[in-house]
Amino acid sequence: MTERRATRGEHQKARAQKNKKSDSKPSKKKWFKRITLTLVAIVAACFIGGAGLFAYYASTAPELDEKLLKDPVSSEFYDKNGDLFATIGAENRKFVKYEDIPQDMINAILATEDVRFFEHGGMDFYRLGGAILANFRDGFGAQGASTLTQQVVKNSFLQNEKKLKRKAQEAWLSFQLERKYTKEEIFEMYFNKMLMSGRVYGFGTAAQYFYGKELKDLTLDEEALLAGLVQRPNAYNPLKNPELAEKRRNTVLGLMYQHGKITKAQMEEAKKVNVQAGLADDATRQKFSGSKYDAFLDVVINELEKNGDGSAMAEGIKVYTTLDPKAQQIVENIMNDDSNFPTEKIQSGVTVVDTKTGQIQAIGGGRNYGVERGFNYAYDLQHQPGSTMKPLLDYGPAIENLKWSTGQTLVDEPMKYTGTKQTITNWDNKYMGTMTARKALYASRNVPAVKTLKEVGIDKAQEFVGRLGINAEKVYESDAIGGGDITMSPTQMAASYAAFGNNGVYTDPYAITKIVYRDGKTTKDYTPESNVAMSDYTAYMVTDMLRDVVGNKPDASGTAANVSGLDIAGKTGTTNYSSADFNKHNLPDTSVPDSWFAGYTSNYSIAIWSGYEKHFDPITTWDERRLPQHLFKQIMKEISANVETPRFKKPNSVVEATIEVGTKPLKLASNFTPSEKRRTELFVRGTEPNEVSNEYAMPELSSPYNVSASLDTEGQSINISWEHDAMLNPETDEPLPTTFEVSATKEGGETISLGKTESKGLTISNKQLEDGKYTISVVAVVDGTRSKPGTTAFQVTGTTDENKEPDTPDQPDVEEPTAPDQNGNNGDNGNHNGNGNGNNGNNGNNGNNGNNGNGNAGNGNNGNTGNNGTPPGNNGNNNGSKPPTTPTEPTVPDDGNGSTE
């Protein structure tokens, strides 16, 4: 059998499969080649594009200007009205030539800022490579590689921002600068241009400002400190932040040793020097003051530093601030007047903030504050706040989270901090017992404050103050009274309190609204966002309690801060030394380290601290303690003059109710709760009590007395009258509404209602009563409670038959009057004239209702000696010393019961 031959189609198919297999390896090489070529093309494109972009940016760079290169560019500062109030830059600058700069000073700068300065051509590519790696690792801008040349360019022509355009222009101009000037000339520009601190420019000026020396007289440690300032001029200021300054100085010394500029021994010796040793005094630094409002400018410069623009002033920026020049001048005038202070050396820091916006209006950095005196007591100070912390950490959170009333019952009693043997005391070493939260706050009692913090819980309290800009890493029970870990500055305190006056809305305090860079177009907004820190009911209820701090209630702690005519809320605060401090420093018993006052209106929030520069120089007198209150009063009064100040408005979420103090849960006061136990307090709507306290029963309602009834024959009416001692409202001491029910009971018959009235008399028609003997009764009724009746007897005759002739009354025997007893004791018969209703007039010594019970005739008065007479007894007319008058004709006698019960 022969083998079948493959067809032509089968041969072609086999050949195609063979070719496919043989082409697999060459195809991989082909793809690799393609990828490589693509990457090269991309890199080339990027390089060409980058070069083109660089060329474009370079072409738009400003021209080199020798004047700008060699002179600082001034920055301008504007107040809230847009008016220029300060220019900082070229003032008080000491220009130093390169040949006059000490070599150690040059070495310190180069080791720190640009160790290869004399080797590169404007750009240090070795350092740039390290910076690029750091930026890839940590993000763009994480590390810079600017040379001295680049810094000169940036501070002369460009704005301080990390953008590709600026970096490209900076590189281009640096190459141009290196071609036009020598290294020594460029170093000289840098040396005299750089911002050193505040408004101090150049190393020569800084040497005189910080040390009062010429450059040649500086020591190694001083040179190292100045060299380290340039990176963060205000942060590394040894007058303000000695710890940071020392750390930075030691870094510079380490770099000098690392690069062989000094020996190890020199480095170690210089590191041992106290960073504040040799600093110039205030008088020396005062010579460098080049503007008004130094304390406020100090805050502005710190804010620039905080926002990464610390060196921007060297670039000629415009800074728009929140400064209120009127308020600032008022604060400075008061702070610079020694007569406002009880001692020569006591210090104060003042911050005035706009209640609604958080804008800093004025700063009082200290007495006679000069440019950068080293410490701004309004901004730099961080001290325990004392009792000014109570609204922030205790009562505010309690109202916010627990919906407490201002009348919440608290007890001021001996108590210890949890888990300790330390007893919590009050400033007067006394305890006041049961009270409302309102009183606990305005009287500044410590035990109720700690109890409140424990009740609301530390976590919630910590969260609450966090929304008010107070960063508390840990809160202790002692923080409830401002004696724990939390510290504050007057600036932060003024802003935190402002939230209470702004319906619970908080804004971080700020002194700058925006900055405008040299090009006049690029701006940076500094205005912080506001946030709702608490409910409007919390803000108002705390405010209402704090009104009483400056009010006139007994035990109010801040009355010295009150300004007549202004709706002010505020809080006092003092801090304490420990027992160990008293023993160690032999302090007087009355010693305290800090005194505070924080208060606000709807326009301004002001916080003031007072104390001494050294912690253990104590405040010992009440004049010193009350200094913040007195300063507050003066400042608030002056800045509020001729300014409309609306009162704080109660929101709809708050209601009032009059409660009985001490009830728990709170109950409404009854009509019979004593005035000293009644308080009108505030409640979050929906939480007000409905139950009325029954702790105090209604007092017995007094009966009407001196009830009398008389017949008016002409008017054909019966007139009934009486007297009554009204029950008083315990809260207002005003008479309570009283209704009188009048009735007549016929002897042996029924009782007839004669009517109701709110007056002390009633007239009825004589037709309402038939003939007969009646007992007239009057009952007082107050709020449903009835008194016992007051009564009188009354005879009704001749009213049943209108046509009947009146009977002629029998003529009673009338005794001739006898000579009066010389002692006036014989009151018999004195009232027998006048319808015989004076039977109880016997024995004039008693005189009880002896003057005609019905008042129909007045001639019985001579018989009533009335020594103990109850009205209307007329006191017996001089005790019967006058001869009796002739009696009038008697009327028909009644039954002889004419006195009131």
| Residues carrying an active site annotation | 113, 387
Cα–Cα–Cα angle for 98, 101, 107, rounded to 5 degrees? 105
Its sign, for the CA torsion 189, 191, 195, 201, is negative
Encoded tokens for 552 = 């006139």
* 3-state SS string for 818-871: CCCCCCCCCCCCCCCCCCCCCHHHCCCCCCCCCCCCCCCCCHHHHHCCCCCCCC
Q: Which residue from 681, 628, 685 is spatially nearest to 659, judged by alpha carbons?
A: 681
Its sign, for the CA torsion 177, 179, 180, 183, is positive
Q: Which residue from 828, 816, 837, 830 is spatially nearest to 891, judged by alpha carbons?
A: 837
Half-sphere exposure of 482 (CA within 13 A, CB side): 29
What are the helix and strand counts (H, E) for the chain? Answer: 26, 28
| Residue 371 near residue 199 (C-beta atoms within 8 A) | yes
Please report the DSSP string for 714-776 in residue order.
TTTEEEEEEE--PPBPTTT-PBPP-EEEEEEEETTS-EEEEEEESSSEEEEEGGGS-SEEEEE
Task: Give strand ranges (E) for 507-577.
Answer: 512-516, 523-525, 531-532, 569-574
Rounded Cα gap, residues 366 and 3, in angstroms:
117
Say which DSSP state 488 is in.
B
Indicate the burial class of 580 (C-beta count within 10 angstroms; 0-12, 13-18, 19 or more): exposed
| Residue 237 near residue 196 (C-beta atoms within 8 A) | no
Rounded Cα gap, residues 265 and 258, in angstroms:
13
| Residue 526 near residue 513 (C-beta atoms within 8 A) | yes
Rounded Cα gap, residues 253 and 492, in angstroms:
36
| Residue 777 near residue 742 (C-beta atoms within 8 A) | yes
User: Please, what's the largest Cα pairwise distance for the chain?
Assistant: 190
Rounded Cα gap, residues 141 and 134, in angstroms:
9
Rounded Cα gap, residues 236 and 244, in angstroms:
6
Say which DSSP state 393 is in.
I
Rounded Cα gap, residues 47 and 42, in angstroms:
8
Place of tokens 């043997």: 421
Say which DSSP state 648 is in.
P
Encoded tokens for 490 = 């007057």
- In this structure, which amino acid lies at residue 504? G
| Residue 126 near residue 114 (C-beta atoms within 8 A) | no
Distances from the Cα of 383 to the Cαs of 35, 50, 594, 623, in angstroms? Answer: 66, 54, 8, 21
Please report the DSSP string for 304-327 in residue order.
HHHTT-TTGGGBT-EEEE---HHH
| Residue 305 near residue 520 (C-beta atoms within 8 A) | no
At 824, give phi and psi (nearest 5°): 70, 20
Bridge partner residues of 515 (DSSP) = 319, 524
